[in-house]
Chain A
Amino acid sequence: MRGNDGGQRLSLFSEEVADGVRAGDPDAVGTVYVTLADRLLGYLMARVPDRATAEDLLEATFVELLQNGRSIRGGAAAIKVWLFRAAHFNALDHLRKVKRQAEDFYDDMTHVDREDPALGPDDLALVDDVVRQVRAAMLHLSEDQRQVLLLRYVGGLTAPEAATVLGKTDGAVRSLQHRGERTLARLLGDDGAAPSAVPRTSQAKGG
């Protein structure tokens, strides 16, 4: 959003780069990629089950930026919001598709469209308990709360930016954020709660 009212520094990439993006210049998009890819990947990986998928969605999102950049109104901050919004919908599309496919094969695959705290084999080595607990606790939040927390903490968006991505008001985002934070803190502070969600997935994926 353009709403980086004074106080916050949003020097992501220069406005010159933003102009390049609007002109469809791959160099400019590449610069944006270098700046934002990590955060977008973090966000996408929180949304879809595996890294490969997240990377594919990341790429698709940037190709969309290249193709549709001219439609973006605003500068660097607007481009950032646009990217997260695109990533958000790409993730949703993917999850719906996977779910649809899954339903063709299985009767019950309800867990497919949820953020899966389990990690692929590649990541297992890296996992520590805190990571597992946080991911598991996130599953106890409402979908909206989770979205807001991911956009704000992982994506690095401001509250107004997150509101734009999610199509909500500022106030709604702030209250979702606060409730999400409280719930998360409670779950993580309380040893009993978070681990309860862990066994299912970690064992399921263990093999």
Chain B
Amino acid sequence: MIPPFDPGHDPEEAHDHDMDNVISFHDDLDPATAEAMARAYHQEVDVETAARHLWMLHRAGRARAGSRREDRGGGHGRVIRQVAVSVLVGLMLVSSSGAAVAASRSSLPGDVLYPVKRGAEQAQLILTVDPRAQEQLQLEIARTRLDELRRVVEVRPEAVPRLVADTLAAIEVAGTASSGAESLIAEAEAEIADLAPDLAAAPAEEASSSALSAAAVPPGSPSPAPSPVPSASPTPSTTPVPTPVPAPTPADTPAPTPADTPAPPPADTPAPPPADTPAPPPGPSPPAADGGAVVPPESVTVQNPPSPGGDVPPITVTPLAPPTTAPPASAPASSEVPKPNVAPRTDAPGSAAPAPPGWGPARGLRSTGAEDSPKSS
């Protein structure tokens, strides 16, 4: 069969299931015999068989759970989750050996196999129990996202916005999980700013604005601190958790021409829930900015009537401006803090899908949960 995925386990954590290891572990074995026996009897469970067996196990488990459901309430959802996990495990198995999924390793968003890749990552996460290994894995996943981002920019720009969000989300998860994420984060910032300057601004804004919303932004006050700045190279979330972020141009579209003034981080916010990573909706953002919302002075590229078609590049990231309900950040008059953070889904009635359909957010990424994006009052 397949060596159990083994992401970054340190040696002592390694599974000793292949013959070589076994032999080295037991010094009272005779090497010659070991070799002969390994050749004669070593077997591997093939993927289909493993998948079948795992499926059977889960069916058996479900049956058991079902018979006991009365005693423990809520067992049902758990069982369902387990089944999902079993499927993931199957995928995982496939992914560590199957040619098909070797292919998925290099897949990009939009590819048929991409969900397989993401599924395998999730399965790895779920099955990785050791916390350190998990951190490693989360770092790896974040790095993978970043790598995908680099590649996808050229071939499939329309996938970039979502991927930027995913990347940031993954990095954030990795950042909260492990301490070694700083370099990655820095790298990611640079990359994102570099590859997709326009996008870089957007997600940063989102992050920042979400952070800001947590921080006290005087209601009604124009824009938070450095109002005018949309920042070309905003330092998106630098620090793992609380992201002191640059001034948001909470407004709308991925400003094609992001102003170049770097945004001084508005007082770093206490601790915005790490959760609210931006999750820009796939589609073009609703032109939103409600009527009069004046967005920070220069910053804004596309003002209120930005129709996705207009000068807006096909890649619209920032869903920030909720259609009508919430005025974009810094909306002058609006009574309350702009909470464009996780934005679109909560407020925009039918607008954006909560999460990118096919690809789940990284586990632990409780970010997108509705609770994070306070429906703007």
Chain A residues near B (Cβ < 8 Å): 8-14, 16-17, 24-27, 29-31, 33-39, 41-43, 45-46, 54-55, 58-59, 62-63, 66-67, 128, 130-131, 134-135, 138, 149-150, 152-154, 156, 158-159, 174, 177, 181, 184-185, 188
Contacts and interface: CB of A to CB of B under 8 A. Distances in A.
B86 A30 contact: yes
B37 A37 contact: no
Contact of B45 (A17, A37, A43, A138): A37
Main secondary structure of the interface of B (DSSP, over half): helix
A27 B82 contact: yes
Nearest to B130: A14
B29 A35 contact: no
Q: Interface centre among A34, A45, A59, by most B CB within 10 Å? A: A34
Nearest to A64: B60
Interface residues of B, number: 51
Interface of B: 1-2, 4, 12-19, 22, 25-26, 28-30, 32-34, 36-45, 49-50, 52-54, 56-58, 60-62, 64, 82, 85-86, 89, 93, 126-127, 129-130
22 contacts: A8-B25, A9-B25, A10-B16, A10-B25, A11-B14, A11-B15, A26-B86, A31-B4, A31-B129, A34-B50, A37-B1, A42-B41, A55-B49, A58-B53, A62-B53, A66-B64, A131-B39, A134-B36, A135-B40, A156-B22, A158-B26, A188-B36
A140 to B, nearest CB: 14
A7 to B, nearest CB: 8
Contacts of B19: 156
B49 A46 contact: no
A34 B16 contact: no
Main secondary structure of the interface of A (DSSP, over half): helix
Given A11-B14, A11-B15, A131-B39, A29 B129 contact: no
Nearest to A7: B27
B17 A39 contact: yes
A35 B49 CA distance: 15
Q: Interface centre among B14, B45, B52, by most A CB within 10 Å? A: B45
B58 A26 contact: yes
Contacts of A42: 41-43
Contacts of B126: 27
B198 to A, nearest CB: 43
Given A10-B16, A37-B50, A138-B40, 10 more contacts: A10-B25, A14-B129, A25-B61, A27-B127, A30-B86, A31-B127, A34-B127, A42-B41, A66-B64, A188-B36
A38 B1 contact: yes
Q: Interface centre among B15, B17, B64, B130, by most A CB within 10 Å? A: B17
Contacts of B45: 37-38, 41, 55, 58
B166 to A, nearest CB: 25
A71 B43 CA distance: 29
Given A33-B57, A159-B28, A185-B32, A45 B129 contact: no
A176 B86 CA distance: 41
A26 B129 contact: no
Nearest to B53: A59
A17 B130 CA distance: 10
